[in-house]
Amino acid sequence: MSMDDKRTWQTLCGESFIENVPLANMVSIRTGGPARWLLDVADGKQAATAWSTARALGIPVLIMGNGSNLLIPDEGFPGLVIRFGHQFAGLRLEGDRIHAQSGVTLKELALFAADHDLLGLAFAAGIPGSLGGGLIMNAGAYNGEMSQVVEEVHCVNQDGDYITLSLEEAQLSYRHSRMMAEGLMVLGAVLRLTPGSKDALYATMAEFQAMRRDKQPLSYPSAGSFFKRPTGYFAGALIEQAGLKGLTIGGAQVSEKHAGFLINIGGATTADFVALKEEVQRRVKERFGVRLEPEVRIIQGTEK
């Protein structure tokens, strides 16, 4: 990037444009190197402008939220990370609809809905992601998923145009969406809920959280369930039946509590997790003939 380009970019991005930012503490698995540049989004137009500017300059771009489903390269990310965090996490209530910006966490969103006696988001209270990522992945748990509550999704396409997708147009399916397929930037959504009881909703969320504590290795850094559910199987069950609980490479380990989780037991690198992933895939394929596909996004330095 030339000095003129850099000055233009900094002018567009304002004080939020910073360089050489460590990312490991911004992702739940706690690995990865620094971002060459980072924009902590405060305004959707600013984010769209930075994205289109970077793309025009041929600079890789990674759009991230709460970092709960990412593996960042150990050498870092050589381009621009556009991060939708607490500065872009507005919530507004309109009857039985919530207008939410993509940086709000799913936990905050679920609590906001419960506080306003609105039913439909209790499943999301324990998912450690943000709304943007939750929409892109159609996040779900305990028989609930984002597709059950989405009315419309607000995005920016790769031409820099603002678009609004209906539920049908968003094409939400198991850990997939049109936003993922087309590489859209998600700015927020309108969620339509139904009336419920605040006390009952809090009781349900507490029950779900107790189940998570009982079954999941929440005391270790991880990216949640590492693999997608294969048709007709459960990834964790296949990994356990292959005798892989406790399998360790470097600081990365197949959890002994829940085999579907790959955890950071201390000092793990992204390379450790990639190697462990590949070994789990190899041995499950060898034993059962099933190819496990990662649910976690393994980031390359060439994202667009």
- What is the model's pLDDT at position 1? 53
Say whether both 38 and 72 belong to one domain: yes
- What is the model's pLDDT at position 50? 87
Say whether both 167 and 181 belong to one domain: yes
Q: Which of 81, 78, 26 is nearest to 50 (CA)?
A: 81
- What is the model's pLDDT at position 5? 59
pLDDT band at 6 (very low <50, low <70, confident <90, very high): low
- What is the model's pLDDT at position 4? 58
Angle between helices 44-56 and 3-13 (to 10 degrees): 160
pLDDT band at 191 (very low <50, low <70, confident <90, very high): very high
- The residue-averaged pLDDT of 163-189 equals 95
Respond yes or no: is residue 295 known to be catalytic.
Answer: yes
Q: Is the pLDDT of residue 3 over 70?
A: no
Say whether both 120 and 195 belong to one domain: yes
- What is the model's pLDDT at position 178? 96
**Quick check: is 212 in a domain?**
no
Say whether both 64 and 10 belong to one domain: yes
Q: Which of 257, 258, 299, 254 is nearest to 281 (CA)?
A: 254
**Model confidence pLDDT, tens digit, residues 81-140:** 999 999 999 999 999 999 999 999 999 999 999 999 999 999 999 999 999 999 999 999
Respond yes or no: is residue 175 known to be catalytic.
Answer: yes
- What is the model's pLDDT at position 49? 86
CA 251/CA 280 separation, integer angstroms:
15
- What is the model's pLDDT at position 16? 65
Say whether both 175 and 129 belong to one domain: yes
User: For all residues of the chain together, what is the average pLDDT?
Assistant: 92
Say whether both 62 and 97 belong to one domain: no
Q: Which of 16, 222, 225, 255 is catalytic?
A: 225
- What is the model's pLDDT at position 163? 96
- Residue numbers of the domain that contains 134: 90-200
Say whether both 50 and 100 belong to one domain: no
Let me know the angle formed at the C-alpha of 304 by 261 and 8, rounded to the nearest 5 degrees.
125
The pair of three-digit structure tokens given for residue 73, joined into one six-digit string: 């390269």
When divided into structural domains, the chain yields a total of 3
**Quick check: is 210 in a domain?**
no
Respond yes or no: is residue 256 known to be catalytic.
Answer: no
Say whether both 286 and 246 belong to one domain: yes
Burial zone of 153 (CB within 10 Å; 0-12 exposed, 13-18 middle, 19+ buried): buried
**Quick check: is 256 in a domain?**
yes
Say whether both 121 and 157 belong to one domain: yes
**Quick check: is 113 in a domain?**
yes
**Model confidence pLDDT, tens digit, residues 262-281:** 999 999 999 999 999 999 99
**Quick check: is 233 in a domain?**
yes
**Quick check: is 205 in a domain?**
no
**Quick check: is 7 in a domain?**
yes
**Model confidence pLDDT, tens digit, residues 24-62:** 999 999 999 999 999 999 999 989 988 988 888 888 999
The residue count of the chain comes to: 304
pLDDT band at 19 (very low <50, low <70, confident <90, very high): confident
**Main-chain phi, psi angles of 124, to 5 degrees:** -85, -10
Say whether both 143 and 239 belong to one domain: no
- What is the model's pLDDT at position 207? 93
Domain stops at, among 33, 52, 86: 86
Share of the chain above pLDDT 70, in %: 93
Say whether both 76 and 155 belong to one domain: no
pLDDT band at 11 (very low <50, low <70, confident <90, very high): low
Q: Is the pLDDT of residue 2 over 60?
A: no
Q: Which of 36, 83, 175, 297 is catalytic?
A: 175
**Quick check: is 238 in a domain?**
yes
Say whether both 35 and 121 belong to one domain: no
